[in-house]
Structure 1
Amino acid sequence: MKSFLTEIKNRFGNGHYEGDQYGGAQGHNGSGLPTGLPNNFMFATGIECSYPTIDHGKTRRDLLAECDHYNRYKEDLALVKAMGLQVLRYGLPYYKIHKGPGQYDWEFADLAMAEIQRLGITPILDLLHFGLPDWLGNFQNPEFPVYFAEYCEAVAARYPWVRYYTPVNEIYVTAKMSAKDGVWNEQLKSDKGFVTAIKHLVAASIMGNQQIAKQRPDCVIVQSESAEFTHELRAERTPAVQLENKLRFLALDLLYAHHPEGEVVNYLYDNGMTRREYEWFMAGEPPGYQVMGNDYYGRNEKIILPNGEVCTSMDVLGWYTITHDYYQRYKKPVMHTETNVFDPKDGPTWLWKQWVNILRMRKEGVPVLGFTWYSLIDQIDWDNGLAEKRGAVTPCGLYDLDRKPRPVAEAYQMLLREYGQITIVPHGELFEVTTRPATLKVEV
């Protein structure tokens, strides 16, 4: 009996069929350096730009200065291109730019943004990274959201070519470090201070987002937020620890108008949020295309032992499991917006482990827009959370402070060559990030 393969071979040849190059057996497999096309997965890095105050406002930690980016910004941006990356999480120094109501110093911002535009890099512009201008004081100031919204509008009007924004980086971490843990800015250690800070930060993000959308109706808002979890190894759980595992969602709950658990709502009311303020947050989501960015470091996961000792668990659950919980809660497209590890010899392995997490998330059908190794160059004093100015190098960058590559840079380039042209979702060429303004606010 003659095989159908014989008939096909006689008519169409032995493989390499005409037409197969258009997504068939001879189509492209997604390898090669990123193209920057609208359906391309967004591989990124970032430039560390934190600027909180410590010592009760007397000392400003400006990592752009401490890591010498102000002087070497052209060199740093050239390294982004040399890596083969098309996307950069980039923070302008808000505290230096916004000099007062309606007053701005754009000198450095204009230079850096012009170079980013010249190189063809797509910035995800970070507008507030852990600190405020001196004239605004700290996150307890109820006027801060209004003035920050003014700043966001000014930035979006000045750089109309920018589409991707993170209005306020890591809202939960900012509020916790500033008003609950007593490390930065107002340095409070109170639940009321924490609730005040978080409601002001979320309100600032929402109103800033509104002003950006006025200038860019097609804006893409990548909310970078920490993915955290505390494992309590006690037979009888401690209410405070269990509450903390619920509060980790608080910033995104308020931002995305998702009603928190009753216990959390009571906590908000007990610590200064009014019913009118709560209803304002629950009125609806901000405009634009909303992307849930989850930052994950091994130190984000903690284990509390029966004796009360706390140890870092280093990805017991990992980015995939924790972020999947966030995804199930908010149903937003996802981006892995920050990761690194403090020991440079562990960098390549950590990178591959994070990538395995992303591949697993994609297999679940979750739209993952991108991945970020944070940051491009080493940082300073992140081993103590910037709490003390020691000048100790945190060797977590793709490059060291002399701008020499670390082993993770070579690993990232290998990853880019292998996966650089994959789409946001598998077989996702049909689905692209369009230039149309956002309009729909429904889940169906």
Structure 2
Amino acid sequence: MNFLDNIKKRFGDGNYDGDEFGGAGGHDGSGLPDGNPGNFMFATGIECSYPTIKNGTVRRDQLRECGHYDRYKEDLGLVKEMGLNVLRYGLPYYSMHKGPGQFDWEFADLAMAEIKQLGITPILDLMHFGVPDWIGDFQNPELPVHFSDFCAAVAERYPWVRYYTPVNEIYVTARISGKDGVWNEQLKTDRGFVTALKHCVAASIMGNQQIAKRRNDCVIVQSESAEYIHELCATPSAATQLDNELRFLSLDLLYANPPSTTVGMYMMDNGLTREEYNWFMAGKPPGYQIMGNDYYGRNERIKLPDGRVETSMDVLGWYEITRDYYERYHMPVMHTETNVFEADQAPIWLYKQWVSIMRMRRDGVPVLGFTWYSLIDQIDWDSQLGELNNHVNECGLFDLDRKPRPVAEAYKSLLKEFGQITIVPYGEILEVTDRPARLKVSV
């Protein structure tokens, strides 16, 4: 009789007592998210951009244009209907901050009460591509101080909120407002870009400080666009090489990571002072920091020899590009935005993003969450909100009539299969604590 025969004689042929506790019969992580704080964060978001266009005469407000102000209860109910417990949610900063020390809480109180009542965990987005009219635009050096007051007021009013994105996509905000000439100040200069970027990073840092002062266990999910330009030239141009370095600049300043000499000279040529640089390099902001990477296929572009730039859609993909960011900062990662504009292509795009996430986790990178952005369709993002075409972008889990698109069922199938996996393997052994952050940690 061999050893296996002896085991079978004594204990039977498999299904051994104890196997249900993580052994062969243990739970595999399938099932809809159950609210366990150690679980991977499956999320969606509600598109809330509000830049100005046409020299400040038109305010784009996606919460209004997509009907959320009138249907917020229905929209938040759809989040729960999907089986999701986490929501990237933006408060309309531009309309709430009426002046120094003056705030309009009417809509925010209604929406936040509903979020709390439904048991949704919000990742609260406090500045999304625009500022109040009285502040002007991102060239205003008073922005960091005024915005920090808003962050303090929000943290005091909603003390139960732990997760925040102080300033969404800082690099994109600065580029499209200060360099591309589409939003807000509509400048087309390197100085305009650097000025907007340093003001937004400073606003994020000081807002983070005010949040941490009131919620010392805060979790900051810094949503930033993951970008890359491929140049089809035997000798890549200096301009493209610089662009591929500048994509890191907002996070370099935010996380006190010294940029390259080329970028450093570029910043100082365009208005960053040595004193400002030293201030940014003093250290990371407080609280628990998560690096959120937003990836759309249109984030990757191919520059042709004749100078034309084409959208390349998924050459490297989220995995390869985010890996560049991770190896630069070694921060915990979250996939904080993705979609495609073609509703019939959305399910396969979703699956591709999830394959990338699973591969990243298998390679040892701590990926903590995923977001399909957004819950409902958007309007005019094919022109970056720069044109008033009222063109519906079919990228939501639901259309503007709140009817599910094919990607909603695809996302539900992912949730049923993976909804209870933990943030890190065996993550349930880690205590999720509300003690204040106090250690500087490296992943």
TM-score, normalized by length of structure 1? 0.99
Task: Say whether 1:368 aligns with 2:367.
Answer: yes
Amino acid at match of 1:167: P
Hey, what's the Cα distance between the residues in 1 that align with 2:330 and 2:105? 37
- Correspondences of 1:235-254 after superposition (within 5 Å): 235-254=234-253
Hey, what's the Cα distance between the residues in 2 that align with 1:410 and 1:185? 37
Root mean square deviation of aligned Cα: 0.8
Give the corresponding residue for 1:61. 60
**Quick check: 1:31–1:419 contact (8 Å CA) kept in 2?**
yes
- Aligned residue pairs total 443
Give the corresponding residue for 2:269. 270
Amino acid at match of 1:200: H
Give the corresponding residue for 1:260. 259
Q: CA deviation at 1:325?
A: 0.5
**Quick check: 2:212–2:218 contact (8 Å CA) kept in 1?**
yes
C-alpha offsets along residues 94-137 of structure 1, whole Å, 9 cap, x if unaligned? 01110000000000000000000000000000000000000000
**Quick check: 2:208–2:286 contact (8 Å CA) kept in 1?**
yes
Q: CA deviation at 1:428?
A: 2.3
Task: Say whether 1:359 aligns with 2:365.
Answer: no
Give the corresponding residue for 1:389. 388
Give the corresponding residue for 1:417. 416
**Quick check: 2:32–2:420 contact (8 Å CA) kept in 1?**
yes
Hey, what's the Cα distance between the residues in 1 that align with 2:41 and 2:34? 9
Hey, what's the Cα distance between the residues in 2 that align with 1:214 and 1:25? 46
Q: CA deviation at 1:24?
A: 0.7
Secondary structure, in 3 states, of the residue corresponding to 2:161? coil
Task: Say whether 1:331 aligns with 2:363.
Answer: no
Give the corresponding residue for 2:38. 39
Question: Is the deviation greater in 426-435 or in 346-355?
Answer: 426-435
Q: CA deviation at 1:274?
A: 0.3
Hey, what's the Cα distance between the residues in 2 that align with 1:128 and 1:152? 10
Give the corresponding residue for 1:441. 440
Q: CA deviation at 1:432?
A: 5.0
Q: Which runs of 5+ in 2 are unaligned?
A: none
**Quick check: 1:38–1:432 contact (8 Å CA) kept in 2?**
no
Give the corresponding residue for 1:26. 25
Secondary structure, in 3 states, of the residue corresponding to 2:244? helix
Secondary structure, in 3 states, of the residue corresponding to 1:341? coil
Q: CA deviation at 1:166?
A: 0.2
Secondary structure, in 3 states, of the residue corresponding to 2:253? helix
Hey, what's the Cα distance between the residues in 1 that align with 2:442 and 2:419? 30
| Structure-2 change in CA distance of 1:397 and 1:41 (3 Å) | same
Amino acid at match of 1:287: P
Task: Say whether 1:214 aligns with 2:213.
Answer: yes
Hey, what's the Cα distance between the residues in 2 that align with 1:243 and 1:219? 34
Q: CA deviation at 1:308?
A: 1.5
Question: Is the deviation greater in 425-434 or in 199-208?
Answer: 425-434
Hey, what's the Cα distance between the residues in 1 that align with 2:375 and 2:272? 39
C-alpha offsets along residues 247-290 of structure 1, whole Å, 9 cap, x if unaligned? 00000000000000000000011000000000000000000000
Task: Say whether 1:175 aligns with 2:174.
Answer: yes
Hey, what's the Cα distance between the residues in 2 that align with 1:34 and 1:442? 28
Task: Say whether 1:137 aligns with 2:144.
Answer: no
Task: Say whether 1:112 aligns with 2:90.
Answer: no
Q: CA deviation at 1:195?
A: 0.6
Give the corresponding residue for 1:320. 319
- Correspondences of 1:120-199 after superposition (within 5 Å): 120-199=119-198
Give the corresponding residue for 2:200. 201
Give the corresponding residue for 2:427. 428
Amino acid at match of 1:155: V
Hey, what's the Cα distance between the residues in 2 that align with 1:163 and 1:442? 19
Hey, what's the Cα distance between the residues in 1 that align with 2:28 and 2:91? 37
C-alpha offsets along residues 364-386 of structure 1, whole Å, 9 cap, x if unaligned? 11111100000000000001000
Hey, what's the Cα distance between the residues in 1 that align with 2:241 and 2:53? 29
C-alpha offsets along residues 73-113 of structure 1, whole Å, 9 cap, x if unaligned? 00000000000001000000001110000000000000000
C-alpha offsets along residues 116-164 of structure 1, whole Å, 9 cap, x if unaligned? 0000000000000000000000000000100100100100010000000
Secondary structure, in 3 states, of the residue corresponding to 1:135? coil
Secondary structure, in 3 states, of the residue corresponding to 2:87? strand
Q: CA deviation at 1:32?
A: 0.2
Give the corresponding residue for 2:294. 295
**Quick check: 2:139–2:195 contact (8 Å CA) kept in 1?**
yes
Amino acid at match of 1:34: P
Hey, what's the Cα distance between the residues in 2 that align with 1:191 and 1:208? 25
Hey, what's the Cα distance between the residues in 2 that align with 1:79 and 1:442? 37
Give the corresponding residue for 2:15. 16
Give the corresponding residue for 1:223. 222
**Quick check: 2:298–2:313 contact (8 Å CA) kept in 1?**
yes
Hey, what's the Cα distance between the residues in 1 that align with 2:54 and 2:159? 38
Hey, what's the Cα distance between the residues in 1 that align with 2:284 and 2:35? 28
Hey, what's the Cα distance between the residues in 1 that align with 2:97 and 2:431? 35
Secondary structure, in 3 states, of the residue corresponding to 1:90? strand
Give the corresponding residue for 2:98. 99
Secondary structure, in 3 states, of the residue corresponding to 2:134? helix
Hey, what's the Cα distance between the residues in 2 that align with 1:171 and 1:262? 21
Amino acid at match of 1:111: L
Hey, what's the Cα distance between the residues in 1 that align with 2:439 and 2:35? 25
- Correspondences of 1:397-408 after superposition (within 5 Å): 397-408=396-407
Secondary structure, in 3 states, of the residue corresponding to 2:372? strand
C-alpha offsets along residues 383-433 of structure 1, whole Å, 9 cap, x if unaligned? 100001111101100000000000000000001000100011223222354
Amino acid at match of 1:109: A
Hey, what's the Cα distance between the residues in 2 that align with 1:57 and 1:3? 82
Hey, what's the Cα distance between the residues in 2 that align with 1:134 and 1:432? 44
Identical columns (%):
74
Hey, what's the Cα distance between the residues in 1 that align with 2:439 and 2:334? 20
Amino acid at match of 2:177: S
Give the corresponding residue for 1:74. 73
**Quick check: 1:51–1:63 contact (8 Å CA) kept in 2?**
yes
Hey, what's the Cα distance between the residues in 2 that align with 1:288 and 1:252? 16
Hey, what's the Cα distance between the residues in 2 that align with 1:412 and 1:423? 18
C-alpha offsets along residues 280-309 of structure 1, whole Å, 9 cap, x if unaligned? 000000000000000000000000111212
Question: Is the deviation greater in 341-350 or in 8-17?
Answer: 8-17
Hey, what's the Cα distance between the residues in 1 that align with 2:148 and 2:36? 31
